[in-house]
Chains A and B, each alone.
Chain A
Amino acid sequence: MFKPLDPLLNSELRLAIMSLLIGVEEADFKFLKENTGATAGNLSVQLKKLSAAAYIEIKKSFKGNYPHTTCKLTPKGIKAFEKHVEALKSYINIKTKKDES
């Protein structure tokens, strides 16, 4: 039986953001931009979408004179990510079994 995929995590950039955040306590905007290779504008839009779904928490502060944005996965986001990975695995497993038979 196929498990449903999370439409919000079916985009490359949003999935990359979630995957980066799952392995750390928190990360800032610059770190996410450098590691995803996304433009600042696109990254900002996708972060807002994840935040609106309460998958991530965005904290805005100041470092010296510069604005500083940090992002962190919420418990809801962790659960959604784990469910999405499980669903992906179920698709791949079924596909592999079909290919073998």
Chain B
Amino acid sequence: MRDRKLSKEESLEVIEEMIALAKRKIDSSGFHFILWGILVIFASLAQYALLKYDFTEFAHWVWFIVPVVGLPIAFIYERRKNRMRGVRGKFDRIYGSLWLAFGITISVAVFVSISNQVNPIAFILLLIGLATFVSAVIYQFIPLMLGAVIFWITALLCPQFDNLNQLLLNAGAIFLGYIIPGIILWNKNRLSV
């Protein structure tokens, strides 16, 4: 591209082309949905197995694996991505704030639920549904929106199951609502690079 004068039609073409280019670069890669999805499924299934085989005392500690493993990986990934991408989208700050607020809310919700001896899974699913829905709107990505609906429906179904089976239900919902849209986004992003 040179410093030449443009006709009016050419000007509009340049504007359209560049806006489309910038938009393509700020799409989500789906990495976070896959990362957190795998960790939550692992924690759900691990707690299920520990409870099933009567290791009830330590069973809930497996959930600490989720932030302890997830946060450093997510942090390193974001740092590397921002360094390579060289651009910050208009929605990046909103998106980051949404998931930060989600992390804080979910931590408090789990603490309060456990203190009150209430199973937190249905509330966690409701909150995941909310944050996932807003993310789906930001990225205009229908599979993620369907994922949010799956989380809300699963939360509604939770009271029909005992505490143990709610863990399996949680793992299934995360697989459908996070892992599948995450893999679709990941492949879409790789193809567009």
Inter-chain contacts of B12 with A (CB < 8 A): 85, 88-89, 92
Count how many chain B residues have C-beta atoms less than 8 Å from C-beta atoms of the other chain: 30
Among B1, B25, B92, residue most surrounded by chain A Cβ atoms (within 10 Å): B1
Inter-chain contacts of A26 with B (CB < 8 A): 87-88
Give the interface segment out of B13-21, B111-119, B155-163: B13-21
Beta-carbon contacts of A45-69 to B below 8 Å, as 1s and 0s? 1100000000000000001000000
Q: Is the CB of B9 closer than 8 A to any CB of chain A? A: yes
Inter-chain contacts of A16 with B (CB < 8 A): 1, 14, 18
Taking the nearest CB of chain A, how far is it from the CB of B21, in angstroms? 5
Q: Is the CB of B190 closer than 8 A to any CB of chain A? A: no
Residue pair A19, B19 in contact (C-beta under 8 Å): yes
Q: Is the CB of B101 closer than 8 A to any CB of chain A? A: no
Residue pair A11, B8 in contact (C-beta under 8 Å): no
Taking the nearest CB of chain B, how far is it from the CB of A15, in angstroms? 5
Residue pair A24, B14 in contact (C-beta under 8 Å): no
Residue pair B21, A25 in contact (C-beta under 8 Å): no
Q: How far is the CA of A34 from the CA of B85 in the complex (A)?
A: 11
Please tell me the size bucket of the interface on A.
35 or more
Inter-chain contacts of A85 with B (CB < 8 A): 12, 15
Inter-chain contacts of A25 with B (CB < 8 A): 88-90, 92-93
Residue pair B22, A24 in contact (C-beta under 8 Å): yes
Chain B residue nearest to A11 in the complex (CB):
B3
Residue pair A27, B83 in contact (C-beta under 8 Å): no
Query: B residues bordering A, Cβ < 8 Å?
Result: 1-6, 8-12, 14-15, 17-19, 21-23, 25-26, 83, 85-90, 92-93
